[in-house]
Amino acid sequence: MYLNSQPQPAPTSAETAVATAESITRTLSGAEATLHALLAEGVDTVFGYPGGAIIPIYDALYDFKEQLNHVLVRHEQGGIHAAQGYARSSGKVGVVFATSGPGATNLVTGLADALIDSTPLVCITGQVFAHLLGTDAFQETDIINITTPITKWNHQVTDASEIPEALAKAFYIARSGRPGPVLIDITKNAQMQKADFAPYQPCTHIRSYRPRPLVRSEYVAQAAALINQAKRPLVLWGQGVLLGQAEQEFKQFIEKSGIPAAWTILGAGALPTGHPLNVGMLGMHGNYGPNVLTNECDVLIAIGMRFDDRVTGRLDKYARQAQVIHLDIDPTEIDKNVKANVPVWGDCKETLPLLTELLEARTYPEWRQRFQDHDAEEIAAVIQDELFPTSDELTMGEVIQQLNELTQGEAIIVTDVGQHQMVACRYAKLNHTRSNITSGGLGTMGFALPAAIGAKYGAPERTVVAVIGDGGIQMTIQELGTIMQTGVNVKILLLNNQFLGMVRQWQELFHDRRYSFVDIASPDYVTVASGYSIAGLRVDSRPDLQAALREMLEHPGSFLLEVMVTRENNIFPMVPQGCGVGEIRLK
Amino acid sequence: MTQQSIDRREYNITAYTENQVGLLNRIAIIFSRRKINIESLNTSPSEVEGIHRFNIVVVETEEVVRKIARQIEKQVEVLKVYFNPNEDVIWQEMALYKVPTDVIAERALVERLLREHGARAVVIRKDYTVFETTGHREETDKLLTVLQPYGLIEFVRSARIAIIKNSQGFHHQLREFERIEPSHEVSENDYLNSRDKVFTM
Ligand SMILES: Cc1ncc(C[n+]2csc(CCOP(=O)(O)OP(=O)(O)O)c2C)c(N)n1
């Protein structure tokens, strides 16, 4: 089908493309072959920025406007974060175009972010002519070597005929197994060169790549036996549940087993926030109960999570008493940080049902009561004041609380990095999976604004709210231009504490309040937004908050709401660096 | 000394890979980001066409080596990785020694040297002679100390090559891989040779 020159609606998946492909060969330029490959892979939206070395692909794009939506961003970093947001909200592969040299190097932060957060991306970069490689030609950088440690796979194409196969491999690798970013660098001659192309063949197999581990039933049986005799089991789940699209299987597992379950920030939303067995967030700024009780459970069941140090705190004080069962698709995660007594290597969509099958239905009333007791403690010490403050100044928590009331947990929340991120992730109500998009592993400031744009393209029917700090928004604020030009509908909730708040908190707690360069000035954001024809409002008092949030949500297009919040508020609970999770502080 | 450093020993990592540009870099990065020094590295074709073999020697604890081996195997183009302590492999290194011919002929009994150290003369010229030995480190080192007083001009030792004593299992699999899916040729950059002839803008 992709060979037809008539504009055609993009096939929904690579399979349909193959089923309907005509077995004829046609002469195309490498650039055209690239776009045909994208269509065959079901790509509908590409984020990118042109330049000399990728002009042939942009030239071909001119004739593909009907089939392939291209979003012109304002900086390649914005482009790749947008593609990440798109991938995370849609579950599909995000696609980015960039030119050689500076265009390609501007992708580096996003690639690192996507690799650590397992986001499927295919980045296509232009490269200088093949005969100029290695000569320090104009805008030449060795992007393959630069990106080797931050891609799941990368490859340089110097001849047009290699393009379909390289892209087929790229998509297959990006989305299969543990997903991740892939970069394909295409020299300019390869884009321009004409070649005969057979119909596109998606890749389904690479001999040296085993993305789908064979599940070993003896380990599943051992895990079930361990769980069935547990008195105080605890489940920790991460993004693996979402990436494996195993939310249903996970819910069935939780509900039959009756085990309380806590989440990493990338796992948020896989089980609704309000689910009775959802006991809250793990880690440095997670909830009190799951952190403390990690050190009291007898069986710890980790599902699609990787025991990041922000989750475990000090490893030698982490869950020493527990038998650990680790379910993961990536064998390198098993035993990497925390030794597993029972490793269940496999896709959790496959392993969870096998495990659920072998479980006895249980409820653990006393054990669950422990979580409720800790919740009560945390509410009294922290949450009450954060969500329902009595002081004059607004808190970040109450903004999120009010937002919850208006969205009823239906929105996608995209967060930047800092205090607002921890508050939003802790307190946002999420009814659905793929509703929490944040930079977890890399903690990339500047992520949220472009990621929110991408998230809206990936899930156009949903409300997308970007929660951003006054520091983070200034890192990628130019993407307001992308919003202006495309008319994409993104709600920007800017929580302005006039500080690089998270760093200030550390300086306050661990460096004697020596506030070294964390006092950051801001422009008048509402005026800036209006310069980009984006509606905006600023509030600094409680009585105005709800109406302003409502106005933002009801506004027909994008909207920037700046909320002035307490300058020196701290995020608690907190596991201080170098402490065990049991040493989590409420104050 | 910590327990960690006591447990460190030589491990031979054997990786079967596709023959791909850039893979060496991907593998090297796995070591360098953990600040692990590679003692020896050799890559060569394997018995199966199109499949390459890396032989990497590191001094580390078993736990670290296991994690590294998994990280290497995780790379898309890597088929299989083994790691073995020295007793599980048969290994050899080769050394070349260059000494002045007149000194060696006058003062040492060349023949005895060769016999005692299992060495071979590779080249004998008027000005110098090159010997070769093959063996474990201690063996090649022995001849080095012997030749030092005779005005050794140059010495070089190769990377280690090793064969796993017990690896029949993967050999069959490799053959099978190759039967079902023969390897691609590595794509060379043919354009590099035609620089002056190509028009650019
Ligand atoms: C690109 C980048 N640079 C620096 C940091 C370090 N950092 C983490 S949080 C933070 C402060 C964020 O401030 P702001 O965006 O205002 O959010 P707040 O913490 O005040 O909510 C900084 C500087 C980072 N995470 N990312």
ipTM of this complex prediction, to 2 decimal places: 0.90
Contact status, residue A550 vs residue A406, Cβ threshold 8 Å: yes
Chain B positions touching A139 (Cβ under 8 A) are: none
Residue among A145, A152, A189 whose CB faces B191 most closely: A189
The 10s digit of each residue's pLDDT in A192-222 is 999 999 999 999 999 899 999 999 999 999 9
Beta bridge partner(s), residue A491: A465, A559
Chain A positions touching B18 (Cβ under 8 A) are: 207-208
Model pLDDT, residue B175 = 80
pLDDT at B48 over 90: no
Distance from CA of A552 to the nearest CA of B (A): 46
Distance from CA of B160 to the nearest CA of A (A): 25
The pair of three-digit structure tokens given for residue B99, joined into one six-digit string: 């000494």
If you measure CA to CA, which chain B residue comes closest to A331?
B70
Whether residue B29 lies within 8 A of chain A, CB to CB, comes out as yes
- Provide the percentage of residues in chain B whose pLDDT is more than 70: 91
Question: Which of B20, B74, B195 to mutate: most A Cβ within 10 Å?
Answer: B74
Q: Please tell me the least confidently modeled range out of A89-93, A393-397, A528-532, B114-118.
A: B114-118
Average pLDDT along chain B: 88
Q: How far apart are CA A468 and CA B155, in angstroms?
A: 62
Options A1, A284, A422, A502, the catalytic residue = A502
Distance from CA of B46 to the nearest CA of A (A): 15
Q: Is the Cα dihedral A196, A200, A201, A203 positive or negative?
A: positive
Q: Name the pTM for this structure.
A: 0.94
The Cβ-side half-sphere exposure at A542, using a 13 Å CA radius, reads: 13
Contact status, residue A83 vs residue A454, Cβ threshold 8 Å: yes
Q: How far apart are CA A406 and CA A420, in angstroms?
A: 19
Model pLDDT, residue B180 = 77
Mean pLDDT across A300-326:
97
Q: How far apart are CA A502 and CA A508, in angstroms?
A: 10
Q: How far apart are CA A114 and CA B176, in angstroms?
A: 35
If you measure CA to CA, which chain B residue comes closest to A337?
B67
Hey, are the CB atoms on B25 and A207 less than 8 Å from each other? no
Residue-by-residue DSSP string for A364-417: -HHHHHHHHHHHHHHIIIIIHHHHS--SSS--HHHHHHHHHHHHTT-SEEEE-S
Q: How far apart are CA A586 and CA B119, in angstroms?
A: 73
Hey, are the CB atoms on B191 and A207 less than 8 Å from each other? no
Mutate to test the pocket of ligand 1, among A394, A395, A417, A515 (most ligand atoms within 8 A of CB): A417
Confidence of residue B110 (pLDDT cuts 50, 70, 90): confident
Chain B positions touching A149 (Cβ under 8 A) are: 29, 33
Contact status, residue A445 vs residue A472, Cβ threshold 8 Å: yes
pLDDT at A515 over 80: yes
Q: How far apart are CA A268 and CA A284, in angstroms?
A: 15
Hey, are the CB atoms on B22 and A148 less than 8 Å from each other? yes
Options A76, A140, A162, A247, the catalytic residue = A76
Options A129, A139, A222, A508, the catalytic residue = A139
Mean pLDDT across A116-141:
96
Residue among A131, A162, A336 whose CB faces B191 most closely: A131
Work out the widest C-alpha separation in chain A, in whole angstroms: 72
Whether residue A148 lies within 8 A of chain B, CB to CB, comes out as yes
Nearest in space to A437 (alpha carbons), one of A88, A121, A94, A114: A88
Whether residue A146 lies within 8 A of chain B, CB to CB, comes out as no
Residue among A148, A173, A189 whose CB faces B29 most closely: A148
If you measure CA to CA, which chain A residue comes closest to B191?
A131
Mean pLDDT across A564-570:
97
Model pLDDT, residue B188 = 75
Query: Which residues, 6 or more positions from A262, have their beta carbon under 8 angstroms from its beta carbon?
Result: A234, A235, A236, A237, A278, A279, A280, A281, A282, A286, A287, A289, A290
Whether residue B3 lies within 8 A of chain A, CB to CB, comes out as no
Query: 3-state class of A469 per DSSP?
Result: strand
DSSP state of A213: P
Average pLDDT along chain A: 95
Give φ, ψ of A281 to 5 degrees: -90, 145
Torsion angle defined by CA atoms of residues A267, A269, A271 and A274, in that order, rounded to the nearest 10 degrees:
130
Could you tell me whether strands A194-197 and A26-29 are parallel, antiparallel, or unpaired per DSSP bridges?
antiparallel
If you measure CA to CA, which chain A residue comes closest to B32?
A149
Known catalytic membership, residue A139: yes
- Taking CA atoms, B49 is separated from A541, A587, B44, in Å, by 73, 64, 11
Known catalytic membership, residue A156: no
- Provide the percentage of residues in chain A whose pLDDT is more than 70: 96
Model pLDDT, residue A479 = 98
The 10s digit of each residue's pLDDT in B5-37 is 778 999 999 999 998 889 999 999 999 999 999
Residues in chain B: 201
The pair of three-digit structure tokens given for residue A428, joined into one six-digit string: 């946002």
Hey, are the CB atoms on A130 and B191 less than 8 Å from each other? yes
Hey, are the CB atoms on A208 and B78 less than 8 Å from each other? yes
Could you tell me whether strands B161-164 and B89-100 are parallel, antiparallel, or unpaired per DSSP bridges?
antiparallel
Confidence of residue B111 (pLDDT cuts 50, 70, 90): confident
pLDDT at B167 over 70: no
If you measure CA to CA, which chain B residue comes closest to A144?
B22
Could you tell me whether strands A69-72 and A121-127 are parallel, antiparallel, or unpaired per DSSP bridges?
unpaired
For the stretch A542-564, what's the b/e string if a residue is b when 16 or more beta carbons lie within 10 angstroms of its beta carbon? Answer: eeebeebbeebbebeebbbbbbb
The 10s digit of each residue's pLDDT in A5-59 is 333 444 445 444 444 445 688 999 999 999 999 999 999 999 999 999 999 999 9
> Which residue has better confidence, A294 or B171?
A294
The pair of three-digit structure tokens given for residue B47, joined into one six-digit string: 């018995």
Model pLDDT, residue A386 = 97
The pair of three-digit structure tokens given for residue B89, joined into one six-digit string: 């492999």
At residue A51, what is the residue type? Answer: G
| Radius of gyration from C-alpha coordinates of chain B | 22
Contact status, residue A26 vs residue A4, Cβ threshold 8 Å: no
pLDDT at B201 over 90: no
Residue among A148, A207, A331 whose CB faces B26 most closely: A148
Residue among A158, A173, A189 whose CB faces B187 most closely: A158
Contact status, residue B99 vs residue B143, Cβ threshold 8 Å: no
Model pLDDT, residue A23 = 63
Confidence of residue B3 (pLDDT cuts 50, 70, 90): low
Distance from CA of B189 to the nearest CA of A (A): 7
End-to-end CA distance of chain B: 62
Using a 6 Å cutoff on CB, does residue A502 contact ligand 1? yes
Distance from CA of B12 to the nearest CA of A (A): 19
Q: How far apart are CA A485 and CA A449, in angstroms?
A: 15
- Taking CA atoms, A514 is separated from A262, A460, B12, B101, in Å, by 35, 45, 50, 72
Using a 6 Å cutoff on CB, does residue A464 contact ligand 1? no
> Could you tell me the distance, in angstroms and rounded to a whole number, from the CA of residue A310 to the centre of ligand 1?
16
Model pLDDT, residue B150 = 86
The pair of three-digit structure tokens given for residue A317, joined into one six-digit string: 């004080």
Known catalytic membership, residue A479: no
Chain B positions touching A148 (Cβ under 8 A) are: 22, 25-26, 29
For helices A163-175 and A30-40, angle between their N-to-C axes, nearest 10 degrees: 30
Using a 6 Å cutoff on CB, does residue A355 contact ligand 1? no
Which burial class, exposed, middle or buried, applies to A9 when counting CB atoms under 10 A from its CB (0-12, 13-18, 19+)?
A: exposed
Mean pLDDT across A109-113:
98
